Amino acid sequence: MNDLPDAETHPATLIADMGARARVASGVLAALPTPRKAAGLVSAAAALRDAAATIEAANREDMARAAAAGLSGALLDRLRLDPGRISAMADGVAAVAALADPVGQIMDSRARPNGLVLSRVRVPIGVIGIIYESRPNVTADAAALCVMAGNAALLRGGSEAVASNRAIHAALMEGLAAGGVPADAVQLVPTTDRAAVGAMLKADGAIDLIIRARQSLVARVQAEARVPVLAHLDGINHVYVDASADPAMAAAVVVDAKMRRTGICGAMETLLIDRGYAGAAVLIERLAATGCVVRGDPDACKLVPEIAAADAADWDTEYLDAIASVAIVDGLDGAVAHIARHGSHHTDAIVAADADVAERFLAQVDSAIVLWNASTQFADGGEFGLGAEIGIATGRLHARGPVALEGLTTYKWIGRGTGQVRG
């Protein structure tokens, strides 16, 4: 494996060098047969398991540094790796190896009247830059998905996870190289200098697509990006409890959506309750009893005076913590209007026994993931059977929802003729 570029190199030079090496590797990857890519990923998964103690030790360094810096409990939870999470990370890499390879899949084929046969075929995008923070497992997920989809990857993780990311990357590359995958297929940007992010955003020609999973970069991306960006924005997710909802189901879904893991992007941030739902007070009290800080609109506060009053900012906040805002709304129309005004197009759910109401919610809510009678915490590529994900795309172009193998490909048209000319 080639050594990492010198972290002291000027960021623009550093990214240009890494991009050039990635471009060469992407050409090799694009032609690798599926069994070879899969073997590399199986080997990488084994290397992650073998390096578990080293990865956990590196993560303890990051956790200590992050705690000293005053990171919130939710962000510390996103950062933390334990034996179970490391094992799950390795399992995710192995799961990607077992998925159907999208490269070469024929999406469409047609024979023209003149005999020319045209096919639309999935191909890799090329070199993908991924900017992320906090969750070191993204290093493994991104590497696995990019390799299986035939892309080279430049990874730039957050400074809070630098030791964890380096340990994970080292194990991955040892395994991938043993399986015959090019050494430069997955490169980790070796500097925490924020100028490297700017260099990636401007690396038109060296990087084909940026996948951004950091909300804090929105303004910078809008101002500086010269490379197409696939964005993962805030998860301001809602659960709407309809008047027809089963009380036991509503309580189970709401508590899980908020409290299973509060620091992930699929966590519920706002609970919307139909004014006609008879168990609203009980539901709010049940959520508060789990340790969640509940902030309500005036109607919710009348039902449960013990909760705090929400202010205007609460409806537009991704808490990533044990905090939730609650609003009483006028039925489905009120819920849809609230989500349209305050949502982030990530994940929204309805709990309802009335199928007509539920189907209207599914059709009218314009989010990447919309769920009926299920927790928003299912917003995860693994839960969708995609093996892993790089993020949840909240835009409308190219990919939407969990970005996995197909989201990391594009297509080209291939024509097969027998001497046709337009004449």
| Per-residue buried b or exposed e for 34-66, using 16+ beta carbons within 10 Å of the residue's own CB | beebbbbbbbbbbbbbebbeebbebbeebbebb
Residue with tokens 């590529």: 381
What is the pLDDT at residue 423? 85
Backbone angles phi and psi of 168, in degrees to 5: -65, -45
Residue with tokens 């046969």: 117
DSSP state of 2: P
What is the pLDDT at residue 2? 42
Task: Report the C-alpha gap between 296 and 357 in whole angstroms.
Answer: 24
Tokens representing 418 are: 């027998």
Q: What is the pTM of this model?
A: 0.85
Element housing 244 (H / E): none
Task: Report the C-alpha gap between 306 and 295 in whole angstroms.
Answer: 10
pLDDT per residue of the chain (423 residues) written in tens, 0 to 9: 344 455 567 899 999 999 999 999 999 999 999 999 999 999 999 999 999 999 999 999 999 999 999 988 878 988 999 999 999 999 999 999 999 999 999 999 999 999 999 999 999 999 999 998 888 999 999 999 999 999 999 999 999 999 999 999 999 999 999 999 999 999 999 998 889 999 999 999 899 999 875 566 666 776 788 888 887 668 999 999 999 999 999 999 999 999 999 988 999 999 999 999 999 999 999 999 999 999 999 999 999 999 999 999 999 999 989 999 999 999 999 999 999 999 999 999 999 999 999 999 999 999 999 999 999 999 998 899 887 788 888 887 788 888 889 999 999 999 999 988 898
Residue with tokens 């939870």: 77
**Strands of 96-146, DSSP E:** 106-111, 117-124, 127-131
Q: What is the CA radius of gyration of the chain?
A: 23
CB 200 within 8 A of CB 75: no
Task: Report the C-alpha gap between 100 and 81 in whole angstroms.
Answer: 29
> Pairing mode, if any, of strands 127-131 and 117-124?
unpaired
Helix (H, G, I), strand (E, B) or coil at 326: strand
Task: Report the C-alpha gap between 139 and 159 in whole angstroms.
Answer: 13
What's the farthest any 2 CA atoms get from each other in the chain? Answer: 81
Helix residue spans in 51-193 (DSSP H):
52-68, 73-79, 83-97, 137-148, 162-178
Task: Report the C-alpha gap between 369 and 305 in whole angstroms.
Answer: 33
CB-count exposure of residue 27 (10 Å: 0-12, 13-18, 19+): middle
Strand order in the sheet with 323-329: 308-309, 293-296, 323-329, 268-274, 237-241, 347-351, 369-372
How many C-alpha atoms does 367 have within 13 Å on its Cβ side? 32
Tokens representing 217 are: 């970069």
296, β-bridge pairs = 309, 326
CB 409 within 8 A of CB 124: yes
What is the pLDDT at residue 304? 98
> Pairing mode, if any, of strands 392-393 and 347-351?
unpaired
**Strands of 203-322, DSSP E:** 209-212, 229-231, 237-241, 268-274, 293-296, 308-309
What is the pLDDT at residue 222? 67
DSSP state of 405: T
Residue with tokens 């002291």: 8
Residue 196 falls in which region: left (phi positive, over 0), alpha (psi -120 to 50) or beta: alpha
Tokens representing 150 are: 């035939």
DSSP state of 377: G
Task: Report the C-alpha gap between 24 and 333 in whole angstroms.
Answer: 53
Type of residue at 269: E
Tokens representing 213 are: 């999973």
Residue 211 falls in which region: left (phi positive, over 0), alpha (psi -120 to 50) or beta: beta
